[in-house]
Structure formats: structure tokens, C-alpha cells
Structure 1
Amino acid sequence: MLAITCWSCKTEYPSLPYNDIESFSIQDADGKTLSASIVDDQIILYWPPLVNQPESITPTIKVSDLATITPASGTAIQLQSDKPITYTVRAQDGSSKNYTLVFQYNQPLVQAKMNLLEGKYYLSHPKNEDLVVRGENILPDENQTKGYLVDKDGKETLLSFSQPPTSFIAQFNTPGDLKPGIYHIKLISGRYTVLTDAFEILLPQIYSLITLDSYTVKKGENLVMPIKSTEIYELFFKTDFDHFIAIDNLNNSYKITNATFDVTKKIVTLPIPTTIQGNQIKTLKLMDKNGQILTEGDQYITLN
């Protein structure tokens, strides 16, 4: 009788209705604990700046008493996915609540500009120089940082890295079919996209083509100069070259149409007009048939 009386007096408690996430934390790349913020139905996890985002995380999760969570605490979660990551907390009484993981990459603003003198880049041979972008807060990860060469018409060409990026430099190989013109580089690094100022790609400088020196020649005679690189002449100038423009020390210009390049002898012959008024040629320009400058440079040709 006593046992029956005690059993009948036992209190029945209702199942708990709590289905909250109380804490959510992971370990970063250095083993430090990162705690997420729980805001309404979101788990907001802030990743440190300039640290590569992991492919997966293994969170430690604490939930309400007697509640369960799916996926369970200690389960690895893949982050590299387009699908949202959802956690479901089920209370003791069977009620449930869903939480969405929001992974925030705490990235500072990216800055970038071309490392060029006066915004000019000269083609060369046998290999063009790298296209170098200097900046700040560039993500040092080839998967998260990309560079595109953008021409005047907006056409984009994906660039390959010549060496891995750092936080301050992104260095790219030049495309093999690079042509003269006005360009930008679009740098995408993490959440930011930056467009550099416009820069100009030019044919090789005249110093790369012709051996320029201090020459002395009589007006009306031929000036013979060595070709420094026949490869540069063949690649960049042979098709389009039409004539020279010479500028004397009085700033008078003279069109010289009968100059010749002899690749076999590796010389260029420049007839000096008798009409030159100055006593020195200070600038030489290589021109195409449309009167556009192919390349130019200062020169010191003394005239007798």
C-alpha cells in the first residue's frame, strides 16, 4: 500500500520546449577559437582578414538542455558550396528551429595600381616583362585573386600569375598576342573588384631596335647605324614601318622616306637631308604609312 501511494504522488514534468543554439565556435588556422554571433535564425561566423578561407570547418555547438542538433556538434561542414548550410535544433518536446550559417570573410578594402613609369608599358623580345599590380590587402591565394586585362572595348583576358600573389603584389604573365593600345587591369580579390587606371602598351622603344650613339655625319650623306635586334624589327616593325621623322635642334621636322633596314647586314641606312637647318638631330621617330608613330627616342646626331 505504501509503494502504491508513493507512485501515485510522483510529479509529471512536461517536456522542455527550448530549441536554441547557445554557442557556436570553431578553431582558426592558428588554433584560436572563433565564436559565432547568433542573431535570430542566423549563425554569423567572421573569418579573420587576409587568412585563407578553409574548405571545411568542424564546429563545437552547445544547444538548449535536452535538445539535439543536426548536423551534430563536431561534424565537419564543407564551406565551398553554393547551397546554404542549415542546422536544425529539436527541443525535447519535438518542436524545432532552423539556423542558417552565414560565413563572413572579414576582408579589408583592396587597393591596386600599375607599377609603371608614366603609365607606359613597352613590348620587348624574347619575353615581355610581367604586368605588375601593386596594392594593399590583396588576398595571397590564386583561387581567390584573379587578374584580367581589359582593352578599350571592354574585352577581358584572364591573366596567369608569373608568381604567387602576395598581400602587396599581383604579378602576371603578358598574353602572347599582346597588341599596342590602352588597357586596364581588373583585379578581383575575394569580395572586392578593383580596376586600375588606364595604361598604354607601346611597341618596343627605339633603343631596343637601333644602336643609338653619338654620331657625326654630313648633311646630304648617309648615316649608317647598327640594328640592335633584327628579331624586334621582324616582329614589331617590318610590316608597318614606312618612313622616319627627324627633328633637329631648332625643332624643325623632316620626313625621310628612303631609309632602309638591311636585316642581313644588320644595319639601317638613314639619308640625311641637305635641307636640315640645325646642326644636330635630337629626335628620331619611326612612322607607319598613316603617319602614326611606331616608336621614337632622343638621339644625338651631329651634322657638319
Structure 2
Amino acid sequence: MCRRYLFKLFFLSGLFTLLLFSSCQKEYLNTPYKDIESFIIKDALNNELKASLKGDSIIVYWPPFQDVKDKVTPEIKVSSGASVNPSSGQEINLKTGTSYVVTAQDGSIKKYVLKLALNQPIPIINRIALTRLGQSLLIIGEYFIPDSNQTKVFLIDKQNKEYQIHFSATDALWSNKIQSTVPLDGKLDTGNFQIKLISGTNTLVKGSFAIGKPSPASAKGAYQFDQAGKSIKKGDQISFTYSLQAPASKYYYGNYTHAIITVTGDPGGKTHIAPIASQSNTLLKFTLPATISTGAIRSIELYSAPDKLASLGYSMYTWNTTTAATTTLIP
């Protein structure tokens, strides 16, 4: 009886020791868990953004109409016993492709890739207005991102060549309005163009739209009336020595058509047309009509050829007589 009791006691004692040893072994086993359980950053308004964790992707849905931060400091929770690199609280570049590596206790690893999703509605364009080189470009609509790093405008010509509109500090770049200037730099020419708008991840193309030559004001020049202060006969030629400001000048050199002349004393503001006789890049000559009135010339207005934007032509320059330089028409 005593032996049987002692045997049971030794058996139970050994079993307990085995179980205890086994329990200690399990407690110190290295685990294979290597998941990111939560990934939190703060948006431009300092609100928390919780990333969506799908497979090996960390997807951050950025709020609409907020400027996207360049850098953020994520708070990261990983599986128990695992570590992550870059670590929680370490500043990173907020851009698609930024990677994280989680290392489990047993040394196995899992790589995650950050994906930035801009949660932006598709822009709507209600109206586009533009006319000339060097003048205003206006786009009215909705859901534009008011950030020149994310919103860009291009003009596309018939050869599919693109010209970017670069925004200045005085341009309007709002969520419902974009206003800038059609370039007048010698690179962009007149013609029909499409408008391409890129705003965030969205792209819209509209058109076509006609862009005309720059206004005469863009081609400001220096004009000198060569016969100022002299007497001129009917049917003679008058001339202007001149120069124009580039790059608008190429649209007006060689493109003058006539001069309109008023004479002091003519009733009812009567005008006389002097057609162009010859022209170069420095000299314009006009022929006085034989029927022009005699007397002092009051004004001479120089015109270039008409087009769709100015059916009567462009007034390029007006000379007005002065007391010191009276020019007289004689028979």
C-alpha cells in the first residue's frame, strides 16, 4: 500500500514538473506575427486620419480641398513583440511608395507600401473665356484644388503641343475660378487650342478655342511723324519712322493698311483716308488723297489690318498736332 502510494506520488510529481517545463518553453517561443494594426497621421487641419490597411498596402485617403502635407509623423501599432522601421513617431515623406518593414520576433518580415489617395470630386468646368495672346484666360467651374502644385492648365495646339499656363502671385486660383494670362512670349502663336485642366488626379480637356493676335497696346512702339511742322501738298506722301515692342511686333510689322486724317475746320468731324503706300519694319508711308481739305492737320490715326476680333482694323497710334508743330495741307 505504501509502495503504491509512493509510486503515485512520484508519478504526479514528475507529470507536474513536465507540464511546468513545457509551459515555460511555450512562454518564450518567438512568435511569427508581423502586422501593422493601426496607422494614424494628422491632416492639414490637425485632425486624425486612420489609414486603411489592406494586404501589404497602407492607404491614406486625404480630405478634399486640403493642401497635402509634404511630411507627417505617423503613430503606428504593430503585432505584439514585433518592430517596425521607420518606427512609430518618426517623420516621413507623405507620398505613394514610402515603405515600411515589420519584423516579427522570429525574424520574419513583412513589407508595407504607403499609398496616398486624394479624395477629390471630379472638377466641373462651366465656362471658359479667352481672346488674345497676352490677355486674360478665365475658367469658371467647381471642385478645383486651389494649389498650383496640384492644379495646372495647358493650351494644346493642332499639333498636340502643350503650353503650360504659369500662375503668378496676382492670378486667381480658387475652388470655383481660375484666372491667369495667355502667354505672350513668342513661343505661343495664334490659332485654335484645346484647354487641358489637371487638378489632383483628375484631367479634363475642353475646346477648341480661338486665340487672336495681341492687342496693339502689347505692341507699344515709338512713332515719329516725319513731316511735322511742314507744309504738304494734296496727293503727296507722309511718313512715320517707328519701332515696335517684341514679341507682339511680328503681328503688326508689314500689316498697316491706312491712316485716317482729320483737318481743322472740316465740318462735322469729317475724316479722310490715306492708304498705305509702302512699309518696312522702320518706315511707314501713306498717300494723301487728292480730295483732302486744305488747312492744319488736327490728327493722324494709323491702322493695321482687320481680323475676327477687330473687323474695322486696329488703331495702332494717333498723332495730334501741337502749336509748335503745325502741319499744313496746301493745294
Larger RCO (CA under 8 A, 6+ residues apart): 1
Deviations 1:17-76 (A, max 9, x none): 322111111111111111011111211111111111111121111111122112111111
CA distance in 1, matches of 2:109, 2:79: 11
- For residues 37 and 176 of structure 1, what CA distance do their matches in structure 2 show? 47
Q: Deviations over 1:179-219 (max 9, x none)?
A: 3211122222221222232111224679x99xxxxxxxxxx
Q: Distance in 2 between matches of 1:203 and 1:86?
A: 51
Per-residue CA deviation, residues 248-272 of structure 1 (Å, 9 max, x unaligned), is xxxxxxxxx9724999xx9x9997x
> Are 2:206 and 1:190 aligned?
no
Match of 2:120 among 104, 107, 113: 107
Structure 1 position 199 matched with structure 2 position 225: no
| Structure with the bigger percentage of helix | 2
Distance 1:100 1:205 in 2: 53
Q: Residue in 2 aligned with 1:98?
A: 111
Q: Which residue of 1 aligns with 2:47?
A: 32
Alignment of 1:189-228 (within 5 A): 189-203=199-213
8 A contact 2:81–2:105 mirrored in 1: yes
Alpha-carbon contact 2:135-2:214 (below 8 Å) kept: no
| Residues 236/134 of structure 1: CA separation in 2 closer, same or farther (3 Å cut) | same
One-letter amino acid of the counterpart of residue 168, structure 2: S
Which of 155, 166, 175 is the equivalent residue of 1:149? Answer: 155
How far apart are the structure 1 equivalents of 2:154 and 2:115?
29
Once residues 195 and 166 of structure 1 are traced to their aligned partners in structure 2, the CA distance between those partners, rounded to angstroms, is 19
Equivalent-residue separation in structure 1 for 2:54 and 2:31 (angstroms): 22
Mapped contact 2:44–2:68 kept (Cα < 8 A): no
**Are the aligned partners of 1:147 and 1:185 in contact in 2 as well (CA < 8 Å)?**
yes
The structure 2 residue matched to 1:138, chosen from 118, 124, 144, is: 144
Gapped runs of 5+ residues in structure 2?
1-13, 220-234, 236-242, 260-272, 290-302, 314-331
CA distance in 1, matches of 2:288, 2:17: 119
* Contact kept in structure 2, 1:203 and 1:295, CA below 8 Å: no
Q: Give the 3 Å change call, closer, same or farther, for CA 205–236 of structure 1 in structure 2.
A: same
Give the equivalent residue in structure 2 for 1:214.
none
Q: Which residue of 2 aligns with 1:168?
A: 176
Q: TM-score, normalised by structure 1?
A: 0.64
Choose from 87, 104, 114 the match for 1:72: 87
Q: TM-score, normalised by structure 2?
A: 0.59
Q: 1:62 to 1:115 in 2, by over 3 A?
A: same
The aligned runs of 1:224-303 (5 Å cut-off) are 236-241=251-256, 259-260=275-276, 295-297=310-312
Rg: which structure is higher?
2
Flag structure 1 segments of 5+ consecutive residues without an equivalent: 210-221, 223-229, 245-256, 272-284, 299-304
Alpha-carbon separation, structure 1, partners of 2:168 and 2:287? 40
Q: Tell me, yes or no, if the aligned pair for 1:161 and 1:170 is still in contact at 8 Å.
A: no
1:85 partnered with 2:98:
yes
In structure 2, what residue type is equivalent to 1:259? P
Indicate yes or no: 2:64 matched with 1:58: no
Q: Do the aligned residues in 2 keep the contact of 1:286 with 1:296 (CA within 8 Å)? A: no
Q: 1:269 to 1:110 in 2, by over 3 A?
A: farther
Distance 1:55 1:90, change over 3 A: same
Separation (CA, whole Å) in 1 of partners of 2:85 and 2:308: 70
Residues 61 and 287 (structure 1), Cα distance of their counterparts in 2 relative to 1, 3 Å cut = same
Contact 2:43/2:49 (<8 A) preserved: yes
